[in-house]
Chains A and B, each alone.
Chain A
Amino acid sequence: MAINITDQAFLEMIEQHKGMLYKVARLYCPDAEARRDLIQEMMVQLWRAFPKLDTQQRVSTWLYRIALNVAISAYRKASTRSIVSNDLPKNEILSAPAEADLEEDPRLGLLMQFIAELKELDRALMLLYLEEKDQQDIADILGISVSNVSTRVHRVKQKLATRFQQTTY
């Protein structure tokens, strides 16, 4: 089946940012099988929203907003619904990277574990902070004020530092 320009542009965009999708899914879904479904759900929602993507908007901000919304809402529902994705352009983006060696550093494993223990909004906040997003971007993506971002980031960092200290000693 021939692939059209819109499909191609969408697939290229996803190809560039698939690591981001994986990271969001990793933080909200510990189970590898369910994570695949979650990434698929993200792709479906991104595909549906793609025609409305404003060219003035930063693609990564748009992607984070949708991916985080899907992840948080799936997390709240506790199980992802079955997905009808026949209209999604076919590709292999869903093939998740081999996970065995991703978190072999024990400190990285702990960081993941501690972030996973946070509330869902704080989790998203920490992800965006660690991804070097500025506070304005974080506020835009999460729909909260910049001052709220600043306060929360500070509090979450402290929480993580305490958890690391508790584990070390």
Chain B
Amino acid sequence: MEELDLKALWQSYNHKLDHSIRLNQELLMEAKMTKVRRLLSAVRPVRIFAVITGIIWVLFLYLVLKVAWHADNYFLLVSAGIHTLVIHILLVISIFHLFLIYDMRQSEFVLKTQKQLAQFRQSTLLGIRLSALQMPVFTTFYLSEGFLINGGPIMWTVHAALFISFAAVGIWAFRNFVPANRDKKWFQFIVGDRETEALDKAEDLLDQIGEWEENV
């Protein structure tokens, strides 16, 4: 066999090997995408549960608001009103999450899925921040005019301190539960759970697939 034939034969081997490696990578990336879809599916039951319990809770809150309105209990009306508003927002976020999960599981586009995953995480944080911000209403819903008139300075002081501390914690949480603090220990202690882990893994896999797509 001539020298040129040998080299040509080797070149054909190189081409086949390159093709095979590429194919292998494609299969690997497809497997990763499947894993991403599976991770996202694992988040769905929590959101379905949140929507169902959220709707039941909102119906109960409507009842509370009606009673408070008829009883002229303005403390309960305003407190429950704020809480109802926040629950509505959380419900919308959960329904939005279910749409996002559905769309991400169908999607073939990594960049789009990465953006949707970022939206998912941002809106989750927004939900946590709003939930924290409403904390003071849990120190006001049971107050009444009678308490203001008959409570006395000690009771007023205790309640004011309680209200201020709930408000301070709520405002602190609202300001600090931001993506920039994601790696901090207290953040992971409070927010870190199986859902966060699953989303972290999905994000990591999507980054790997995105990087690979960029290099192809």
Q: Select one of B3, B10, B20 contacting A97, CB under 8 A.
A: B20
Does A95 contact B28, Cβ atoms closer than 8 Å? yes
* B1 in contact with A98 (CB, 8 Å): no
Complex Cα gap A160–B2 (Å) = 10
Contacts of A131 in B (CB 8 A): 10
Judge whether A108 and B9 touch: CB under 8 Å.
Answer: yes
Question: What interface size band does chain B fall in?
Answer: 10 to 19
Task: Tell which of A17-25, A36-44, A64-72 binds the partner.
Answer: A17-25
Asked whether, in the complex, the Cβ of B6 is within 8 Å of the Cβ of A98, the reply is: no
- List CB contacts (< 8 Å) of A116-169 with chain B: 130-132, 157, 160-161, 164-165
B119: interface (CB < 8 Å) = no
Please name all residues of chain A whose beta carbon is closer than 8 Å to the beta carbon of B10 when the two chains form the complex.
111, 130-131
Flag whether A54 is at the interface (Cβ < 8 A): no
B13 touches A98 (CB 8 A): no
Q: Look across to chain A and name the residue whose beta carbon is closest to the beta carbon of B32.
A: A92
Dominant SS among interface residues on chain B:
helix
Interface flag for A105 (CB, 8 Å): yes
Q: A92: which of B1, B6, B28 is its contact (CB, 8 Å)?
A: B28
By a CB distance below 8 angstroms, the chain B residues around A98 are: 20, 23-24
A87 within 8 A of B: no
Is B12's beta carbon under 8 Å from chain A?
A: yes
A–B pairs, 18, beta carbons within 8 Å: A15-B215, A19-B21, A22-B17, A22-B21, A97-B21, A97-B23, A97-B24, A98-B20, A98-B23, A98-B24, A102-B13, A105-B9, A108-B9, A111-B9, A111-B10, A130-B7, A130-B10, A157-B3
Q: Which residues of B approach A to under 8 Å, CB–CB?
A: 1-3, 6-7, 9-10, 12-14, 16-18, 20-21, 23-24, 28, 215
